[in-house]
């Protein structure tokens, strides 16, 4: 690899990227460094055992051809002992390798998962969920398995190569020439592999993410596919993706096959050149038959070890490419949870009187430049239901995401405050624990009803769960189920109607007993009578709850203390006549 090429790669930044990705990878390996050292030590022990076996094998051949039978048993026994020792070392190394791989894989996935969950919401939603799943699952596993297959093996193979070469050099320097005959060709082929492998791995990862995204969406929307008779369209789409995937993979396979044929040809050239030279040296009396056997064995070892070293290049490219894809996600802005203690103290001091919400002159625009709010203000207090109305797409759900600190306003303030003594704290991710949220759509998890409830309050008693179900008008249909609160819920609320799933979602939010309750069209699937009863139950409770609800339903507006309309990017407080007009025009 010439200086000009290396300089070009440095300019392109690829080598710098690989170095940064390598540093990132090994932050996960730090606590396993003793085990990695032990694995490397076992590998080196096996290397020296193999080389010692070559010497013993040489002596055995010389003993047999020289007729020195008195040394035969001792040498043969030593050869068996070394073989058994090598087997034990290999098995122990394999066991340790598996243990390290499993531990690093699970630890890395847990760490990446936890960091993904606290990544800035708007930033991470720019990625398809299928892509995120591929990065978390495939890329993390690839990096974890690569820890052993890269640096430790680089040390082991390098020592193996150097030791075998020095052994040849010490016995007969002329054989060293044939042993290194393939080195220039290997260096030449690695030059083209470096760039092509990185490009292929990036394309492969992107294609895998694309296919994973398609599968995830298709399986999640089977009902829609059936309802719109999209079965053949979906099958054709899958086949097209598969065609692109196979085409990309086969292109790389052709490159790999050509590379393997070339390297195999070089290997044969080295092997048979060594054979020829060895035969000549034996016939000329320069070396013994045993020495020739050892040289041929070590020559094959050098070739195989060199190929193993070269194979680490694509392996390194694959690992660092996966690391880079994970770094893309983990380098995004993280949410700030530094106000945990402040929020806990504020919450404890206002358990009796409740907590108010105040939004003051906020501006918010999405990353794509779309402005949603400009100088918007709003206020909600304990024991109040505050309505938020407006056309679809005008910002109702965005307002709730701002209140949950999933989004951050570019200007203005959102705070929690006490109407009793006037103290306040700014809204932040740390304050999210003070909110209960019921979004649009079905948000139940697979598992039992009780397990879903305890997701928000792990220590909830059955009595508390039943009370929350009663307030959400869900207890009656739950009690009719064969398992009661221990009945199973399917994926995305399977087995329940939309209205039932909504009431279960509301019950879960009520069970949490947060001072702030945010309902995003959360009663849209309920009949009018049930909807009014649920909202009345919420406000009849003695718990000082502040409730903000987005709605299109006029029945909800009649129960609201105040109603704000999102108009011209602001929250305008409606008077009684305007509210009545909305209800009449519905």
Q: Which domains does the chain have, with CATH numbers?
A: 15-330 (1.20.1560.10), 340-585 (3.40.50.300)
Tokens coding 250: 């086969």
Residue 359's pLDDT is: 92
Tokens coding 316: 């390194």
Residue 202's pLDDT is: 67
Residue 27 confidence (pLDDT) above 90: no
Reported as a pLDDT band with limits 50, 70 and 90, residue 33 is confident
Who wins on pLDDT, 346 or 72? 346
Question: Mean pLDDT throughout 22-30?
Answer: 78
Question: Mean pLDDT throughout 484-505?
Answer: 85
DSSP 548-562: EEE---HHHHTT-SE
Residue 10's pLDDT is: 43
The residue whose two tokens read 């680089």 is 154
Q: Find the distance separating the first CA and the last CA of the chain, reported in whole Å.
A: 75
Question: Mean pLDDT throughout 399-403?
Answer: 91
Residues 335-366 pLDDT 10s:
888 899 999 998 888 888 889 999 999 999 98
Alpha helices in 480-527 (DSSP H): 498-512
Residue 444 confidence (pLDDT) above 70: yes
Residues 408-431 pLDDT 10s:
999 999 988 886 777 889 888 999
Residue 247 Cα distances to 3, 134, 210, 267, 377, angstroms = 35, 20, 15, 30, 55
Reported as a pLDDT band with limits 50, 70 and 90, residue 6 is very low
Residue 112 confidence (pLDDT) above 50: yes
Question: Mean pLDDT throughout 394-416?
Answer: 90
The whole-angstrom separation of Cα 57 and Cα 298 is: 11
Residues 175-201 pLDDT 10s:
777 666 656 655 555 555 555 655 666
Region of residue 437 (left: phi > 0; alpha: psi -120 to 50; beta: else):
beta
pLDDT exceeding 90 applies to what percent of the chain?
17
Reported as a pLDDT band with limits 50, 70 and 90, residue 2 is very low
Strand partners, 384: 546
Residue 564's pLDDT is: 93
Reported as a pLDDT band with limits 50, 70 and 90, residue 39 is confident
Pairing of strands 488-489, 447-448: antiparallel
Residue 174 confidence (pLDDT) above 80: no
Residue 9 confidence (pLDDT) above 50: no
Strand partners, 573: 564
Question: Mean pLDDT throughout 11-15?
Answer: 55
Residue 15's pLDDT is: 64
The residue whose two tokens read 């009863």 is 533
Reported as a pLDDT band with limits 50, 70 and 90, residue 284 is confident
3-12, 329-338, 356-365, range with greatest mean pLDDT: 356-365
Who wins on pLDDT, 441 or 241? 241
Residue 582's pLDDT is: 79
Q: Look over the chain and give the mean of its residue pLDDT values, rounded to a whole number.
A: 81
Region of residue 430 (left: phi > 0; alpha: psi -120 to 50; beta: else):
alpha
Residue 373's pLDDT is: 93
Who wins on pLDDT, 378 or 496? 378
């Amino acid at each position: 690899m010439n200086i000009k090429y290396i300089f070009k790669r440095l300019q392109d930044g690829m080598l710098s990227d690989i170095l940064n990705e390598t540093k990132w990878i090994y932050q996960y390996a730090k606590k396993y460094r003793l085990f990695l050292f032990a694995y490397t030590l076992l590998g080196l022990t096996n290397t020296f055992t193999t080389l010692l076996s070559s010497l013993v094998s040489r002596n055995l051949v010389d003993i047999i051809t020289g007729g020195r039978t008195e040394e035969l048993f001792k040498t043969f026994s030593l050869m068996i002992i070394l073989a058994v020792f090598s087997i034990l070392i290999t098995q122990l190394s394999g066991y340790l390798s598996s243990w390290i791989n499993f531990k690093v894989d699970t630890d890395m996935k847990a760490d990446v998962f936890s960091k993904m969950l606290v990544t800035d919401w708007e930033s991470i939603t720019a990625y398809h969920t299928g892509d995120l799943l591929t990065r978390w699952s495939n890329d993390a596993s690839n990096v974890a398995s690569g820890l052993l297959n890269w640096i430790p093996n680089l040390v082991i193979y390098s020592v193996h190569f150097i030791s075998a070469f020095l052994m040849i050099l010490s016995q007969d320097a002329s054989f060293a020439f044939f042993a290194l005959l393939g080195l220039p060709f290997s260096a030449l082929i690695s030059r083209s592999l470096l760039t092509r492998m990185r490009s292929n791995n990036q394309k492969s990862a992107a294609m895998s993410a694309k296919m994973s995204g398609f599968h995830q969406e298709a399986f999640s929307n089977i009902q829609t596919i059936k309802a719109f008779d999209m079965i053949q369209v979906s099958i054709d789409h899958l086949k097209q993706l598969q065609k692109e995937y196979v085409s990309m993979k086969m292109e790389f396979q052709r490159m790999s096959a050509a590379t393997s044929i070339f390297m195999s040809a070089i290997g044969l050239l080295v092997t048979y050149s060594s054979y020829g030279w060895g035969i000549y040296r034996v016939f000329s009396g320069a070396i013994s038959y045993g020495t020739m056997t050892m040289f041929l064995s070590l020559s094959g070892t050098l070739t195989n070890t060199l190929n193993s070293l070269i194979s680490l290049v694509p392996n390194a490219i694959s690992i660092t490419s996966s690391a880079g894809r994970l770094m893309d996600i983990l380098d995004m802005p993280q949410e700030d949870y530094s106000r945990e203690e402040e929020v806990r103290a504020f919450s404890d001091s206002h358990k009796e009187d409740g907590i108010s919400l105040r939004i003051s002159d906020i501006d918010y625009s999405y990353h794509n430049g779309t402005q949603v709010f400009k100088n918007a203000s709003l206020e909600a207090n304990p024991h109040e239901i505050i309505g938020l109305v407006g056309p679809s797409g005008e910002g109702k759900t965005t307002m709730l995401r701002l209140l949950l600190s999933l989004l951050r306003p570019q200007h203005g303030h959102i705070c929690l405050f006490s109407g009793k003594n006037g103290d306040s704290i700014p809204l932040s991710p740390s304050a999210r624990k003070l909110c209960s949220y019921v979004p649009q759509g079905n948000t139940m998890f697979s598992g039992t009803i009780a397990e879903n409830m305890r997701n928000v309050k792990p220590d909830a008693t059955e009595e508390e769960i039943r009370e929350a179900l009663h307030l959400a008008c869900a207890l009656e249909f739950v009690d009719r189920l064969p398992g009661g609160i221990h009945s199973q819920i399917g994926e995305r609320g399977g087995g329940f109607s939309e209205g039932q799933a909504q009431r279960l979602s509301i019950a879960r939010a009520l069970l949490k007993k947060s001072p702030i309750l945010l309902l995003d069209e959360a009663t849209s699937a309920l009949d009018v009578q049930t909807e009014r009863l649920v909202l009345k139950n919420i406000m009849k409770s003695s718990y000082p709850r502040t409730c903000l609800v987005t709605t299109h339903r006029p029945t909800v507006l009649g129960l609201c203390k105040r109603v704000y309309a999102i108009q011209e990017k602001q929250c305008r407080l409606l008077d009684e006549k305007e509210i009545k007009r909305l209800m009449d025009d519905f």
